[in-house]
Structure formats: structure tokens, C-alpha cells
Amino acid sequence: LDTIMNNLYGIGEDGLALSGMDDAGEMSAWFVFSSLGLYTFSATDPEYLVTAPLFDEIKWRTSNGKMITIKKPGKGREITAIKVDGKLNKGYFVSHDLFKNGGTIDITTK
């Protein structure tokens, strides 16, 4: 994801729009979601792949008023641990229920 985000978004050397400069917003929305450290691995599964976000901390309120917080202190890009609501997460996926109920994702990197 880092390679795509670093090389395929922006205006480019020649001043030509790259894939992030779209009218419908699909590629831009993908970039924003990936920047938050989330990737929709499969559109049919109610879970998200956790990646290293570009930000140290992200907070947003869902449409039903629940708060979601994603924390990744430091500059590391290689994930060593993921905790969801304080519990060690097995694997790299988190359930969509987290986004319905609110919660916290803590990402440790090196």
C-alpha cells in the first residue's frame, strides 16, 4: 500500500494527473481510507485489514455517534502488534462491528 500511495498519487513530474486525481472520488477515497491504516481486502466480507496509518492518532465519530480511535505512535511502518480495545488481536483483520460499536485500535510498529 505504501508504494501505491507514494508513487501513484499526486500531480506527477510532468504536471499530469495521476490516479489520485479522479472525478468520481473512488481513488481519492481509497487513499484516505488507506492513510487511516485500513484496507477493504474484500468488498463482501465485514472486516478490514489493518495497515500502518500515516498518522500517530486518528479519531472519528460514526454516524450513530460512536467514537473510533486508531493509534500508531512513531514512524515505523512494520506492524509488530495490533490491539483492539486493549486485547491483542490475532492476525491483521478487524471486524466491521468495531465501526458500529466504537472502539480503539492500537498499532505497534518497528
Mean pLDDT split into 10-residue runs, the chain, 110 residues: 67 57 70 90 92 96 95 94 98 94 97
Q: What is the pLDDT of residue 52?
A: 96
B/e letters for 31-53, b = 16+ CB within 10 Å, e = fewer, are: beebbbbbeeeeeeeebbbbbbb
Q: What is the pLDDT of residue 9?
A: 63
Task: Write out pLDDT tens, residues 56-86.
Answer: 999 999 999 999 999 999 899 999 999 999 9
Between CA 107 and CA 7 the distance in angstroms is 24
CB 9 within 8 A of CB 26: no
Number of domains in the chain: 1
**Residues spanned by the domain of 49:** 2-109
Please report, for the domain that includes residue 63, its CATH number.
3.30.2080.10
Q: What is the pLDDT of residue 72?
A: 97
What is the chain's alpha carbon radius of gyration, rounded to the nearest angstrom?
A: 15
Between CA 84 and CA 63 the distance in angstroms is 20
